[in-house]
């Protein structure tokens, strides 16, 4: 993102829940690079993704608040103490964790999101914007919709607790707008890839890129078509939606490169020739329609960042190579 005076000069202050995670680290990177001093609210004590992306100097411009989104008081203090005007809510458990423990999944993914909205309602003089992570998992499998692109407004038919929780959050956002005039944007990502993606079912493509860089064989555990979205595009879209004047309760579908997994592997081999023969894929198709229309987002934002797949892979390779040269490349995730 082009450097500009931080938005704090314009009286804005961002708090990002779950920003020690993958997408959050890239949102923080974008904010810090343009001069902001964002507040990170996360239950984790570790910050390995942020350390991989930010310099020590840049990390010094980030405020860390350790807290749990299931605690109204923790989050409310984080918002009030730092004069937060823009809330970006990412903290969540992923698909496998929600499947393993749906009660905990609901506490974090649903009640945690309700806390965000309730704080925005009670502190409406302070909090002006909410953008939260929904997911393409609100959609059902390809067979449910038939062949071709799934149009905006198609019925939601999530097949996992995780997807149902995300759909529930979109519903609660709608009610907060209808009942209390709280506007929000929910963004439905599909499979986001890039440095820092080290967990969840769709982390396979990023792990394959890392394996290619270190020259190790790697098997992606699914096949079929997916929508690969470069993480910096995703981070910028969160920030655009936080800063545009979008009223109402909007839920936008994101779209990146819709490709078959074997096409992804071919592209990786072209960008990183040592990967030839190391990467393969096996297993089922993922149960989410991969070809989703994002025309509502394009209509409302005018344009959306869409890094071509080969460039996204190249940028990811370059960062992994730098981390490897600096002795900072963690490859433990390749074993999981």
Ligand X SMILES: NC(=O)c1ccc[n+]([C@@H]2O[C@H](COP(=O)([O-])OP(=O)(O)OC[C@H]3O[C@@H](n4cnc5c(N)ncnc54)[C@H](O)[C@@H]3O)[C@@H](O)[C@H]2O)c1
Nearer to ligand X, 92 or 246 (CB): 92
Decide if residue 43 touches ligand X (CB under 6 A).
yes
| Euclidean distance between CA atoms 284 and 301, whole angstroms | 35
Q: Are 234 and 193 in contact (CB under 8 A)?
A: no
Binding mask 147-176 for ligand X (x = CB under 6 A): ------------------------------
Q: Which of 13, 38, 42, 252 binds ligand X (CB under 6 A)?
A: 42
Site for ligand X in 78-107 (CB under 6 A): 90-92, 94
Residues in the chain: 336
Closest CA to 129 of 5, 279, 240: 240
Q: Are 8 and 36 in contact (CB under 8 A)?
A: yes
What number of chain residues touch ligand X (CB under 6 A)?
A: 27
Nearer to ligand X, 18 or 158 (CB): 18
- Cβ neighbours of residue 97 closer than 8 Å, sequence gap 6 or more: 104, 105
Decide if residue 242 touches ligand X (CB under 6 A).
no
| 3-class DSSP state of 269 | helix
Closest CA to 258 of 182, 149, 183, 172: 149
Q: How far is the CB of 273 from ligand X (least distance, A)?
A: 27
Q: How far is the CB of 75 from ligand X (least distance, A)?
A: 8
Decide if residue 18 touches ligand X (CB under 6 A).
yes
Decide if residue 186 touches ligand X (CB under 6 A).
no
| 3-class DSSP state of 216 | coil
Nearer to ligand X, 8 or 260 (CB): 260
Q: How far is the CB of 129 from ligand X (least distance, A)?
A: 17
Nearer to ligand X, 171 or 274 (CB): 171
Dihedrals phi, psi of 171, to nearest 5 degrees = -65, -45
| Euclidean distance between CA atoms 296 and 150, whole angstroms | 13
Nearer to ligand X, 104 or 178 (CB): 104
Count of beta carbons in the 10 Å neighbourhood of residue 326 = 9
Nearer to ligand X, 149 or 199 (CB): 199
Q: Which of 12, 33, 37, 44 binds ligand X (CB under 6 A)?
A: 44
Q: Which of 14, 15, 16, 21 binds ligand X (CB under 6 A)?
A: 21
Decide if residue 184 touches ligand X (CB under 6 A).
no
Nearer to ligand X, 8 or 71 (CB): 71
Dihedrals phi, psi of 242, to nearest 5 degrees = -70, -25
Binding mask 61-80 for ligand X (x = CB under 6 A): -------xxx----------
Task: Provide DSSP, 73-137.
Answer: HHHHHHHHHTT--EEEE-----HHHHHH-HHHHIIIIIIHHHHHHHHHHHTTTT--EEEEE--GG
Interface ranges with ligand X (CB under 6 A) = 17-18, 20-24, 42-44, 68-70, 90-92, 94, 108, 112, 133, 135, 189, 191-192, 199-200, 202
């Amino acid at each position: 993102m082009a450097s500009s005076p931080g938005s704090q000069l314009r009286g804005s202050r961002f708090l990002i829940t779950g920003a020690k995670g993958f997408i959050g680290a890239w949102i923080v990177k974008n904010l810090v690079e343009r001069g902001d001093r964002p507040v990170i609210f996360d239950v984790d004590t570790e910050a390995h993704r942020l350390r991989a992306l930010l310099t020590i100097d840049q990390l010094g411009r980030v405020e860390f608040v350790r807290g749990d989104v299931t605690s109204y008081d923790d989050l409310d203090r984080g918002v009030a103490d730092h004069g937060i005007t823009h809330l970006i809510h990412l903290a969540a458990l992923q698909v496998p964790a929600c499947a393993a423990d749906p009660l905990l999944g609901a506490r974090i993914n649903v009640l945690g999101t309700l806390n965000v909205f309730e704080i925005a309602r009670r502190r409406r003089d302070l909090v002006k914007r909410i953008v939260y992570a929904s997911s393409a998992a609100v959609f059902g499998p390809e067979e449910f919709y038939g062949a071709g692109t799934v149009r905006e407004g198609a019925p939601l038919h999530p097949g996992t607790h995780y997807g149902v929780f995300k759909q529930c959050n979109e519903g609660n956002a709608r009610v907060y707008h209808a009942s209390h005039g709280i506007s929000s944007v929910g963004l439905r990502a599909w499979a986001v890839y890039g440095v820092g993606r080290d967990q969840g079912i769709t982390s396979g493509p990023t792990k394959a890129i890392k394996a290619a860089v270190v020259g190790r064989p790697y098997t992606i555990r699914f096949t079929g078509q997916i929508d690969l979205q470069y993480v910096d595009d995703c981070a910028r879209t969160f920030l655009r939606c936080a800063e545009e004047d979008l009223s109402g309760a909007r839920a936008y579908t994101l779209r990146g490169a819709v490709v078959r997994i074997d096409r992804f592997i071919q592209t990786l081999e072209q960008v990183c020739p040592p990967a030839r023969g190391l990467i393969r894929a096996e297993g089922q198709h993922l149960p989410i329609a991969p070809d989703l229309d994002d025309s509502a987002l394009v209509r409302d934002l005018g344009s959306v960042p869409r890094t071509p797949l080969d460039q996204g892979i190249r940028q990811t390779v370059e960062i992994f190579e730098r981390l490897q040269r600096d002795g900072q490349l963690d490859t433990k995730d390749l074993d999981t």
